[in-house]
Amino acid sequence: MTDLRELVPRRGARALAAGLAAVLLALVGAAGAPAAEVPNHRFIAPLISGTEGSPPKARLEAPCGVAVGPEGETFVSDYYRRQILGIPSLDDYFPDNGACALANDPFNLYANYWHGGVVNTATGIISSAPATGIAVDPKTFDLYVNNRTSIAVYEAPVDPGDPPAFEIDPGPTGALKDGYGIAVSTFPATAGYVYVADAADHTVKVYDPAAPEPNLPVQIIDGAATAAGRFVSLVDSSLAIDQSNGHLFVIDNTQPGTEHPLAAVNEFNAQGLYRGALGHAIVSGEPSGIAVDESLSASAGRLYVTSGNGSSIVIAPSGGPPPSELGSLLAFGPSGEGQILTVSTSGSGQGTVKSSPAGIACPGACEAELNAGGIVSLTATPAPGSAFVGWSGACTGTAGCQVTLGAASAVDAEFGPAPAAFEGESGSGALAARAGAAPAAGAGQPASTTALGPARSNAANRLQAKQRRQRKCLRKSRDLQVHQQGNKMKKTRIKCGA
């Protein structure tokens, strides 16, 4: 008979051992498990949105500019209301126009009226010439003004009526043809760089005023790695720089010509590599405002973007316009850790590699910085006359490639010539091969449907050779030979060996 007094401590010991084992398993599992994806600029909330008053009216009708003060306070320009939220009042410097782009230093707030003049909101008009973007150097407090075909630089302190100290890429014969938006970097690797969107060719041109040729771009960002494969429309674009890491933000109107066009906010790292896009719908305000909180407040690192392009109507209490009619100021969290993914192509064939999420479109955009811990899927597509051979590096084999970005990673996609069609064969596969396309699934299909590994390729070659010998024999004999034997015709089958 079991002594119950002995059983209790034994059960306790077993329970303790089981608990310790579970803890150890959990620790081992945690150590072996891949790190979770680090979010990048997660959406926080709309800071200003919705309606106010009775009858209700949109709190923001046409927000088109935003700036952040030294204590984290926000300023938002509203074109239709002819005001800037965050300051007591705005003088009628240009009565027939409204303020849009904003820029500031700790002592001054500047406003660029839509395609119009530039003012210091407290002291008066800096320039009446048409401009399409302004920025302030956070270190020198110099004011940069985008004049469409050139960039005027005003040295601080800037007083009304001061002429610019110098110009960058003076037009119209320079590289800048139709500029919108502007940003200035103080990040060490790109300190002094000036970024301008050019709607003439839908690229972002980067200037270094300290370079031997300051009027020539030192870099051109074409947007090839974005989800659209390009910048769709940089007309009335806005730019911003995160001075903590040198990252550039570009607002791209992806639906130009529509009533409420959607915009993509694309991010590029300090080297110009694609970093991703904000995962929240933005209605282009043509322009929309964008700013990074560089203050020492608790909100430092946040990204602010205005959305919406106008609601000048009074909203009926029983209903209202669609949400896209209502303006908003949206807040996003700071940047997350990223990892570099590098893709290359090799072999005697041709093909492309694209990623999901967007970032890789190789050849062209073969390197991107994507979320650390994120899973990136790569798809290899052979060109006509080529076949996918296989992956090497962070992926191997011929199946689909998925890379978890726990560290910087590199992948190579090898392409070779497509195998020739069977001699004398008819059908879509043979016709495609004669036309220079891969047989079977055909050229242009993802790697998983046209991959040919070395072992499979050797086996296919042996089978093709055997079938060619058999067909040659059968064609020569026409399968049957007729022999005259007396008055009778005898059909004799010719044996064709393997």
Residue 350 binned pLDDT confidence (cut-offs 50, 70, 90): very high
pLDDT digits (tens, 9 = 90+) for 147-185: 999 999 999 999 999 999 999 999 778 999 999 999 999
* Low-confidence winner among 187-191, 252-256, 295-299, 314-318 (lowest mean pLDDT): 314-318
The residue type found at 34 is P
The residue type found at 340 is I
Round to whole Å and give the CA distance between 368 and 409: 10
Count of Cβ atoms closer than 10 Å to residue 381 Cβ = 19
pLDDT digits (tens, 9 = 90+) for 426-449: 333 332 333 333 333 333 444 443
Provide the terminal-to-terminal Cα distance of the chain, rounded to the nearest Å: 80
With contact defined as beta carbons under 8 Å apart, do 224 and 230 qualify?
yes
Residue 480 binned pLDDT confidence (cut-offs 50, 70, 90): very low
* Low-confidence winner among 198-207, 322-331, 473-482 (lowest mean pLDDT): 473-482
pLDDT of 381: 97
The DSSP bridge pattern shows strands 109-113 and 99-104 to be: antiparallel
pLDDT: which is higher, 252 or 2? 252
Three-class SS state of 412:
strand
Domains of the chain, each with CATH number or no CATH:
43-332 (2.120.10.30), 338-452 (no CATH)
Round to whole Å and give the CA distance between 286 and 238: 9
H helices present in 111-176, as ranges: none
Q: Hey, which residues does 198 pair with through a beta bridge?
A: 179, 203
pTM for this structure?
Answer: 0.77
Round to whole Å and give the CA distance between 266 and 353: 21
Round to whole Å and give the CA distance between 444 and 186: 45
Round to whole Å and give the CA distance between 460 and 318: 71
pLDDT digits (tens, 9 = 90+) for 20-58: 444 433 443 444 455 688 889 999 999 998 888 887 788
Which residues, 6 or more positions from 362, have their beta carbon under 8 angstroms from its beta carbon?
A: 343, 344, 345, 352, 353, 354, 413
Residue 463 binned pLDDT confidence (cut-offs 50, 70, 90): low
